[in-house]
C-alpha cells in the first residue's frame, strides 16, 4: 500500500468543501456499510437503505435526540461511483460549525477520517481511474487559468491514457511478431529482416511528441515569473493595477513611492503569471528605497521575462542602459504613457543590437488600457518559444510522466538500433518489454507503492 493508513473498503469520511461561510457544505463518505452507518444518525434510515444509486434522500442529521441540520443525501451504489464503492455525500448548510458538527458525528459513528487523496486512491485501485486521470484531478484543483484547467480536463477525460494505449499497441504488435519469429525461425539473412520496424518508428515519433509536450504543459501548470522594472514614475504600479483590475499598488507622481515589491497571480492569455511590481531604479540616499532597488535587481535575475517600462515622454538615459546591459533574461521593452507623448519613440537598431535580450518593443498606456493585447501576446510568444502548446494531441501532466515516457522512448530507440546492428532478437524483446513497463508506470499498471504514496499524499483531504 502507498500509505499504511489507507485501508480499502473501510468506511471513511471527510469535509469536501472549504470551511468558510457558504450556501452549502459537503461531507463525503465512502466504503463498506457507509450507507447503513450514516443511517444511524439520519432521520430516515430505511429510506437510505432502500434508495437506488444516483438518487437523493431528504432528511435530518440527528445526534441522539438533537437535530443537527436539515440535509440532502446523495446515494451512489458500487460500482457506479467515483471510488467504485458505496458512497454518500451529505449536502448541508455551509456554515463551518454545521459542517464540522456533522463530520465529528460521523467519526463517532464508525467512520474513519480520510487521508489525503484517499477517495481518488480508491478510484484508482478499483479501476475507476488510471493514474493519468487521478493526477489530472489534482491539476484541475490547482489550475490558475481556464486554459490550464482545460488541458487538465483533457487528461481527465482519458486523452493521455488513450495515446499511451495506442503507442503500447504499436510496441506489442511488433513484440508479438518477433516472438513468433523466435518460436518458429526461418532462414533470414539478418535479424533486421525478421520483423517490420515501421510500427516502432511510429512509436518513436509519438513518444517524442509526448515528451516534447511537457515543456508547454508545465508552463500552464507552474506559470511564469514576470517582473516589472524601470525608472521611477515609468508607470509600473499603474500597469500592475491595470492588469490586476484592482488597486493593489500605490500610485503617485512622487518619485520613490514604491519601495518594496508586491506580487499577484494573473492570467496572461491563458498562461498563469506571477507578476511582480518593483521599486523604481534610481540613485538614492534613502536607505529603505535603496534596499528596494537592490530587491528589484535580485527579482529580475530570477525572472522568466522582464517588462521594462520607460516613459514615452523622455529619452533613454544611463540608468536604463546600465540595467538593461546587466539583464540576462528576456526583456520586453515597454514605452508607457504613449497617450501623453507628442511623438512615438523607438529604440535604435544599434541599441537593440547592443542588448540582445530585448525580444520585443511595444507602446502602451497603462492609464487608458491601450496596447494590452499586444503586451500579452508578446509575453506569451516569448514564454512558449520552442514549446509545443497546441492542443492537437495529448500532453503530459507531470514530471513523473515525462521521465517514464523518456525511458520508454530510449528503450524503443535502442531496440531499433539493436535490430539494425544484427543483435539477437532476445535483446530486441528485452528493450520492448522495458518500454512497455515504462509506459505502464505512466498509467499506473506498473507503479511502485512509494510512487503512489507520493502522488496521492499531495491531494487535499476529501479528494
C-alpha 299/C-alpha 301 separation (Å) is 5
Question: What local confidence, expressed as pLDDT, does residue 11 receive?
Answer: 96
pLDDT at 392 over 60: no
Q: What percent of the chain is modeled with pLDDT above 90? A: 52
Residue 364 makes CB contacts below 8 A (sequence gap 6+) with 239, 334, 335, 336, 338, 370, 371, 372, 374, 375
pLDDT at 389 over 60: no
Question: What local confidence, expressed as pLDDT, does residue 105 receive?
Answer: 97
Give the pLDDT band (50/70/90) at residue 260.
Answer: low
pLDDT at 215 over 80: yes
Question: What local confidence, expressed as pLDDT, does residue 54 receive?
Answer: 96
Strand order in 271-277's β-sheet?
Answer: 262-268, 271-277, 224-230, 305-311, 331-336, 358-363
User: Which helix (H) or strand (E) is 291 found in, with range?
Assistant: helix 287-301
Q: Are 41 and 104 in contact (CB under 8 A)?
A: no
Where does residue 386 fall: left (phi above 0), alpha (psi -120 to 50 degrees), or beta otherwise? left
Q: Are 370 and 338 in contact (CB under 8 A)?
A: yes
Give the pLDDT band (50/70/90) at residue 344.
Answer: confident
What's the 3-state SS for 184-211? CCCCCCCHHHHCCCHHHHHHHHHHHHHH
Give the pLDDT band (50/70/90) at residue 454.
Answer: low
Q: Where are the beta strands (DSSP E) in 312-386?
A: 331-336, 358-363
Question: What local confidence, expressed as pLDDT, does residue 420 receive?
Answer: 83
Q: Tell me the average pLDDT across 171-193.
A: 66
Question: What local confidence, expressed as pLDDT, does residue 290 receive?
Answer: 60
Q: Are 419 and 428 in contact (CB under 8 A)?
A: yes
Question: What local confidence, expressed as pLDDT, does residue 9 receive?
Answer: 81
Where does residue 230 fall: left (phi above 0), alpha (psi -120 to 50 degrees), or beta otherwise? left
More confident residue, 310 or 458: 310
List 396's β-bridge partners, or say none.
none
For the chain, what is the total number of helices (H) and then of strands (E)? Answer: 16, 12
pLDDT at 409 over 90: yes
If 0-12 CB within 10 Å is exposed, 13-18 middle and 19+ buried, where does residue 448 land? exposed
Q: How many CA atoms lie within 13 A of 283 on its CB side?
A: 4
Q: Tell me the average pLDDT across 427-440.
A: 91
Q: Find the DSSP H helices in 109-186.
A: 118-125, 131-142, 146-156, 159-183
pLDDT at 455 over 90: no
More confident residue, 9 or 239: 239
Q: How far is CA 418 from CA 70, 205, 405, in A?
A: 69, 18, 20
Q: Tell me the average pLDDT across 286-311.
A: 80
C-alpha 23/C-alpha 167 separation (Å) is 47
Q: Tell me the average pLDDT across 346-369.
A: 90
- Across the chain, what does the average pLDDT equal? 86
pLDDT at 364 over 90: yes
Q: Are 192 and 272 in contact (CB under 8 A)?
A: no
Q: Are 236 and 280 in contact (CB under 8 A)?
A: yes
Helix (H, G, I), strand (E, B), or coil: what is residue 28? strand
Q: Tell me the average pLDDT across 311-318.
A: 89
Residue for grid cell 515516457: 405
Q: Are 247 and 241 in contact (CB under 8 A)?
A: yes
Give the pLDDT band (50/70/90) at residue 80.
Answer: very high
Q: Are 443 and 162 in contact (CB under 8 A)?
A: no
Helix (H, G, I), strand (E, B), or coil: what is residue 81? coil
Least reliable range by pLDDT among 109-118, 346-355, 417-426, 450-459: 450-459
Identity of the highest mean pLDDT range in 75-89, 280-294, 305-319, 373-387: 75-89
Q: Find the DSSP H helices in 73-130.
A: 96-108, 118-125
pLDDT at 448 over 60: no
Residue 126 makes CB contacts below 8 A (sequence gap 6+) with 8, 79, 83, 84, 85
Q: What percent of the chain is modeled with pLDDT above 70? A: 85
Least reliable range by pLDDT among 14-18, 267-271, 280-284, 422-426: 280-284
Q: Where are the beta strands (DSSP E) in 374-442?
A: none
Give the pLDDT band (50/70/90) at residue 447.
Answer: low
Question: What local confidence, expressed as pLDDT, does residue 284 receive?
Answer: 59
User: Cα 252 to chain center, whole Å?
Assistant: 37
Question: What local confidence, expressed as pLDDT, does residue 437 receive?
Answer: 92
Helix (H, G, I), strand (E, B), or coil: what is residue 389? coil
Question: What local confidence, expressed as pLDDT, does residue 194 receive?
Answer: 60
Q: Are 303 and 310 in contact (CB under 8 A)?
A: no
Q: How many residues in the chain?
A: 463
pLDDT at 378 over 80: yes
pLDDT at 155 over 80: yes
Q: Tell me the average pLDDT across 334-343.
A: 89
pLDDT at 253 over 80: no
| pLDDT per residue as tens digits for the range 1-33 | 445 466 778 999 999 999 999 999 999 999 999
Amino acid at each position: 500500500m502507498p500509505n499504511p493508513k489507507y485501508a480499502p473498503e473501510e468506511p471513511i469520511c471527510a469535509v469536501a468543501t472549504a470551511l468558510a461561510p457558504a450556501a452549502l457544505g459537503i461531507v463525503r463518505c465512502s466504503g463498506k456499510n457507509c450507507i447503513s452507518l450514516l443511517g444511524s444518525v439520519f432521520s430516515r434510515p430505511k429510506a437510505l437503505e432502500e434508495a437506488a444509486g444516483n438518487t437523493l434522500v431528504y432528511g435530518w442529521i440527528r445526534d441522539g435526540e438533537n437535530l443537527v441540520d436539515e440535509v440532502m443525501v446523495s446515494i451512489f451504489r458500487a460500482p457506479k461511483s467515483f471510488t467504485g464503492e458505496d458512497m454518500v455525500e451529505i449536502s448541508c448548510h455551509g456554515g463551518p460549525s454545521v459542517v464540522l458538527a456533522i463530520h465529528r458525528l460521523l467519526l463517532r459513528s464508525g467512520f474513519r477520517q480520510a487521508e489525503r487523496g484517499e477517495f481518488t486512491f480508491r478510484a484508482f485501485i478499483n479501476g475507476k481511474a488510471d493514474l493519468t486521470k487521478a493526477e489530472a484531478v489534482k491539476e484541475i484543483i490547482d489550475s490558475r487559468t481556464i486554459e490550464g484547467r482545460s488541458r487538465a480536463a483533457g487528461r481527465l477525460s482519458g486523452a493521455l491514457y488513450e495515446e499511451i494505449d495506442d503507442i503500447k499497441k504499436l510496441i506489442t504488435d511488433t513484440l508479438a511478431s518477433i516472438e513468433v519469429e523466435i518460436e518458429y525461425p526461418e532462414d533470414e539473412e539478418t535479424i533486421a529482416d525478421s520483423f517490420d520496424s515501421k510500427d516502432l518508428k511510429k512509436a518513436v515519433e509519438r513518444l517524442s511528441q509526448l515528451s516534447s509536450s511537457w515543456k508547454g504543459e508545465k508552463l500552464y501548470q507552474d506559470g511564469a515569473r514576470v517582473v516589472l522594472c524601470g525608472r521611477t514614475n515609468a508607470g509600473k504600479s499603474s500597469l500592475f493595477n491595470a492588469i490586476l483590475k484592482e488597486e493593489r499598488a500605490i500610485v503617485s507622481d512622487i518619485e520613490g513611492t514604491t519601495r518594496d515589491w508586491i506580487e499577484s497571480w494573473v492570467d496572461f492569455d491563458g498562461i498563469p503569471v506571477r507578476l511582480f511590481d518593483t521599486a523604481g531604479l534610481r540613485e538614492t540616499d534613502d536607505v529603505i528605497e535603496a534596499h528596494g532597488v537592490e530587491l528589484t535587481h535580485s527579482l529580475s535575475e530570477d525572472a522568466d521575462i522582464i517588462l521594462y517600462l520607460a516613459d514615452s515622454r523622455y529619452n533613454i538615459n544611463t540608468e536604463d542602459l546600465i540595467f538593461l546591459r546587466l539583464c540576462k533574461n528576456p526583456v520586453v521593452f515597454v514605452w508607457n504613457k504613449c497617450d501623453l507623448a507628442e511623438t512615438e519613440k523607438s529604440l535604435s537598431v544599434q541599441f537593440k543590437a547592443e542588448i540582445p535580450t530585448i525580444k520585443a518593443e511595444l507602446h502602451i498606456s497603462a492609464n487608458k488600457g491601450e496596447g494590452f493585447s499586444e503586451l500579452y501576446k508578446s509575453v506569451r510568444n516569448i514564454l512558449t518559444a520552442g514549446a509545443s502548446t497546441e492542443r492537437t494531441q495529448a500532453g503530459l501532466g507531470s514530471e513523473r510522466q515525462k521521465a517514464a515516457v523518456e525511458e520508454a522512448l530510449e528503450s524503443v530507440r535502442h531496440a531499433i538500433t539493436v535490430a539494425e546492428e544484427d543483435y539477437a532478437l532476445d535483446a530486441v524483446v528485452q528493450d520492448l518489454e522495458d518500454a512497455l513497463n515504462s509506459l505502464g508506470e505512466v498509467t499506473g499498471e506498473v507503479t511502485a507503492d512509494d510512487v503512489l504514496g507520493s502522488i496521492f499524499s499531495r491531494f487535499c483531504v476529501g479528494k
